């Protein structure tokens, strides 16, 4: 029990990792917003709700108001500006809260986009944790609490662990023989004509090896919470996994998961800051 509690305690010799993560998170999400805002605005103008129906209820109970084009654009601009202000330390708690409020009507309106649906779910959780963090407003060189980063790491681990459990529930140990992955690759090849998917699917031994790697990675990712020295290996495996699904099946989780994965790069950011003399 004491070992678990030690994970949440601040280290007097450690700088403010929460504030550093907040900057990395805002920078990464801001970059994705700037890259995709024009495309998402054009998509919204096609009135996707008329084709795909109304978005899901918030928390299964609340229907968010429908937006017109001007409202969608304004909320997107406010979201972008909130991330900019937070990134540069200008009332970060207030502006991350504003970004959190903007998240729901903005992304709810384009939920039918393949790279948005179910792939932005961690963003509001992370924003809420940051808003509640007492360390968010503290300077980077001051020690701070660690429970915020632990909660975010647990949330990331939960995504991978639940994906691994779902594979076992659906296919059992047969998932390891590679045939399930082979079927997914062939399905996505027929959908998006990615020839690399066909190349991989034609080799059952490669599919089996990738299946074993995927299942082990997903079911054991949570160990980074208790063994931080393993972080490099698991994060590298996560990046390889997501790059693989992107190139073979055009499933892009990294777009909006990458800001959250910045929780594993705060040490590197402080090292770079020191090297640059900042």
Indicate whether 215 and 168 sit together in one domain: yes
**Region of residue 62 (phi > 0: left; psi between -120 and 50: alpha; otherwise: beta):** beta
Picking from 16, 267, 275, 262, the residue whose alpha carbon sits closest to that of residue 140 is 16
Q: Which of 115, 145, 175 is the last residue of a domain?
A: 145
Residue whose token pair is 């800001």: 259
CB 61 within 8 A of CB 106: no
Question: 45, 68 in Cβ contact below 8 A?
Answer: no
Q: Same structural domain for residues 105 and 170?
A: no
pLDDT of 81 reads 98
Asked if residue 91 and residue 1 are part of one domain, the reply reads: yes
Task: Give the domain-ending residue among 99, 115, 145.
Answer: 145
pLDDT in tens, the chain (278 residues): 444 444 555 554 478 999 999 999 999 999 999 999 999 999 999 887 776 666 666 655 667 778 889 999 999 999 999 999 999 999 999 999 999 999 999 998 898 888 888 889 999 999 999 999 999 988 888 888 889 999 999 999 999 999 999 999 988 888 899 898 999 898 888 877 788 888 998 999 999 999 999 999 999 999 999 999 999 999 999 999 999 999 888 888 999 999 999 999 999 999 888 888 66
How high is the pLDDT of residue 1?
Answer: 44
Q: Domain range spanning residue 213?
A: 146-278
What is the residue whose two structure tokens read 């989780």?
A: 253
Same domain, 116 and 170: no
Whether residue 138 is found in the same domain as residue 254: no
Residues 26 and 141 in one domain: yes
Q: What is the pTM of this model?
A: 0.89
Which of 130, 145, 160 represents a domain boundary (last residue)? 145
Question: Which of 181, 41, 178, 182 has the alpha carbon at shortest distance from 113?
Answer: 41
Are 115 and 57 in a shared domain?
yes
Burial category of 3 from C-beta neighbours within 10 Å (exposed 0-12, middle 13-18, buried 19 and up):
exposed
Assess whether 139 and 152 both reside in one domain: no
Length, in residues, of the chain: 278
Whether 153 and 97 share a structural domain = no
């Amino acid at each position: 029990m004491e070992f678990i509690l030690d994970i949440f305690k601040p280290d007097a010799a450690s700088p403010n990792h929460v504030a550093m993560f907040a900057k990395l998170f805002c920078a990464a999400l801001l970059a994705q917003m700037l890259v995709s805002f024009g495309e998402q605005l054009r998509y919204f103008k096609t009135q996707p709700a008329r084709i795909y129906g109304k978005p899901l209820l918030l928390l299964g109970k609340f229907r968010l108001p429908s937006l017109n084009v001007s409202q969608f654009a304004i909320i997107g601009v406010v979201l972008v500006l909130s991330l900019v202000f937070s990134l540069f330390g200008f009332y970060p708690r207030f502006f991350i809260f504003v970004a959190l409020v903007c998240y729901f009507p903005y992304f709810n309106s384009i939920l039918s986009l393949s790279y948005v649906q179910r792939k932005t779910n961690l963003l509001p959780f992370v924003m809420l944790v940051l808003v509640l963090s007492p360390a968010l407003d503290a300077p980077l060189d001051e020690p701070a609490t660690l429970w915020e980063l632990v909660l975010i790491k647990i949330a990331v681990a939960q995504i991978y662990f639940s994906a691994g459990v779902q594979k076992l529930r659906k296919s059992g140990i047969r998932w390891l023989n590679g045939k399930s992955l082979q079927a997914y690759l062939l399905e996505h090849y027929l959908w998006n004509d990615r020839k690399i998917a066909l190349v991989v699917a034609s080799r059952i031994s490669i599919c089996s090896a990738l299946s074993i790697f995927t299942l082990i990675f997903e079911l054991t990712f949570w160990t980074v919470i208790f063994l931080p020295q393993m972080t490099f290996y698991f994060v590298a495996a996560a990046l390889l996994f997501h790059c693989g699904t992107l190139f073979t099946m055009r499933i892009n989780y990294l777009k909006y998961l990458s800001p959250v994965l910045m929780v594993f790069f705060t040490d590197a950011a402080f090292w770079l800051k020191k090297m640059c003399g900042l």
